[in-house]
């Protein structure tokens, strides 16, 4: 059994979201979903994450925050907070393969994150308890999450901004991707 926490960081019009995923024998279960109100200071998000990972049941967990854009500064706050968790920052890219970021994190193509959650749902290796208060919001986000092809032939991924957010999908996908791709011994390896 292992615990993986995905943290998607929102901006002014997006929510920040935290997802806690338990991995047991190749299956993953979303055990906690949390959205922070728009405008929540990142220092408050860090304090809440510190409280969550301090739970004895989560000993040895890995926090996977989105380090893209403003996320790099928030990752610095998380690292300074002395969390009772490994921190694996993920910078979301439009690239074709996963690479090290040279600072203990990873550069991960968004398509890989999306593929992790889509494959787990189809398989079905992913369980989302209907009793979670945000379970139906996550289901709606998953349904509204689309792949679009640009005029130049590139893929873009995300929610139809007129209808939905994708913060819970990204938080879950960060946790799932790491659970399925990162192995720990004395340090992380990709």
Containing 140, the helix (H) or strand (E) segment is helix 135-144
Res 146: pLDDT: 58
Q: What is the pLDDT of residues 57-94, one digit of tens each?
A: 998 899 999 999 889 999 999 999 999 999 999 999 98
The per-residue DSSP string of 42-96 comes to HHHHHHHHHHHHTSGGGTT-EEEEB-TTTHHHHHHHHHHTT-SSEE--EEEES-S
Residue 142: band (very low, low, confident or very high) from pLDDT cuts 50, 70, 90: confident
Q: For the segment 94-120, what is each residue's pLDDT rounded down to a tens digit?
A: 888 999 998 889 999 988 988 887 777
Output the pLDDT for position 129: 83
pLDDT averaged over the chain? 85
| Closest by Cα among 27, 67, 12 to 176 | 27
The angle subtended at Cα 169 by Cα 166 and Cα 174, nearest 5°, is 120
């Amino acid at each position: 059994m292992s615990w993986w926490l995905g943290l998607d960081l929102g901006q002014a019009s997006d929510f920040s979201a935290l997802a806690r995923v338990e991995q047991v024998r190749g299956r993953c279960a979303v055990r906690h979903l949390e959205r922070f109100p728009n405008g929540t200071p990142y220092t408050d998000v860090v304090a809440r994450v510190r409280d969550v990972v301090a739970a004895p049941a989560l000993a040895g967990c890995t926090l996977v925050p989105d380090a893209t854009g403003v996320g790099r500064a928030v990752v610095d706050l998380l690292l300074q907070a002395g969390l009772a968790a490994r921190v694996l920052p993920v910078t979301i890219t439009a690239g074709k393969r996963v690479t090290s970021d040279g600072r203990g994190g990873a550069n991960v193509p968004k398509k890989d994150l999306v593929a992790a959650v889509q494959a787990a749902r189809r398989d079905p290796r992913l369980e989302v308890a209907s009793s979670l208060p945000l379970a139906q919001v996550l289901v709606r986000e998953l349904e509204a999450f689309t792949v679009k092809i640009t005029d130049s032939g590139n893929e873009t991924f995300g929610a139809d901004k007129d209808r939905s957010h994708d913060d819970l999908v990204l938080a879950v996908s960060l946790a799932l991707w790491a659970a399925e791709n990162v192995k720990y011994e004395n340090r992380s390896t990709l």
